[in-house]
Chains A and B, each alone.
Chain A
């Protein structure tokens, strides 16, 4: 009885540790095979219709976020400082809010304002276009309108990955 228990426990522990390796197919990589960035037009917080095409020639960083997503809220002040730093170097940051009802998002933006454009995607059309697979998702597009980097999720320290990608594309 005791030996069987010990063996079972050992097997369970090994499986437990092996489990992550088997599910490794989910892990994200930033650099992607270059593909044209799908075009879209969405309404911004200021009421205007904003298109991706307006920013052709700039390095564009699209951040898909929601007010209910903790890591999204956590990274936005950092995104704001990235925007402030690079906006005069041909760089633009666009926030796309994915919530069907903008009420909570607006309340949160009021408390934590950002100066880069924030667009509403209430029907998830753009989220589907860009195949958003995690919250948040950050897509970085180069000056020719090609998607070059996709970063899924946010952990403190990921902003360094963003900065590296931006620096690479800014000089191109």
Chain B
């Protein structure tokens, strides 16, 4: 049941994108700060993967550790 509702939520989100194109309120030429290397969501993948592994080995919780996106939005 949980998986089905997850999938439905994702489908809803996806269908939203097909309607009403939203004007981006941060223009591509205003992405300077977001494109800065220090603002990357995952600056050092090897190091952060390792630390995630260290924590997950000792804790009961797992998952939801990373994000994708941001940056310069080029192309």
Contact flag (A, B; Cβ within 8 A) = yes
Q: Taking the complex as formed, is B65 at the interface, i.e. its CB lies under 8 A from any CB of chain A? A: no
Q: Is the interface of B mostly helix, strand, loop or mixed?
A: helix
**Size of interface on A: residues with Cβ below 8 Å to B:** 35
Chain B residue at minimal CB-CB distance from A104: B32
Q: Is the interface of A mostly helix, strand, loop or mixed?
A: mixed
* Residue pair A15, B7 in contact (C-beta under 8 Å): yes
Count how many pairs of residues, one from A and one from B, have CB atoms less than 8 Å apart in the complex.
75
**Size of interface on B: residues with Cβ below 8 Å to A:** 24
* Residue pair A132, B7 in contact (C-beta under 8 Å): no
Q: Taking the complex as formed, is A4 at the interface, i.e. its CB lies under 8 A from any CB of chain B? A: yes
- Selected from B21, B24, B74, the residue in CB contact (under 8 A) with A70 is B74
18 contacts between A and B (CB under 8 A): A8-B4, A11-B7, A11-B11, A15-B14, A18-B14, A19-B17, A23-B17, A25-B21, A66-B29, A68-B35, A68-B72, A70-B72, A71-B75, A124-B30, A127-B27, A128-B27, A152-B75, A154-B74
Residues of A near any B CB (own CB < 8 A) = 4-5, 7-8, 11-12, 15, 18-19, 22-23, 25, 64, 66, 68-72, 98-100, 124, 127-128, 132-137, 152-155
Known: A68-B36, A134-B75. 18 other contacts (CB 8 A): A8-B4, A15-B7, A19-B14, A19-B17, A22-B14, A22-B18, A25-B18, A64-B29, A66-B29, A68-B31, A69-B35, A99-B32, A124-B27, A124-B30, A127-B29, A134-B74, A153-B75, A154-B75
Residues of B near any A CB (own CB < 8 A) = 3-4, 6-7, 10-11, 14-15, 17-18, 21, 24, 27-32, 35-36, 72-75
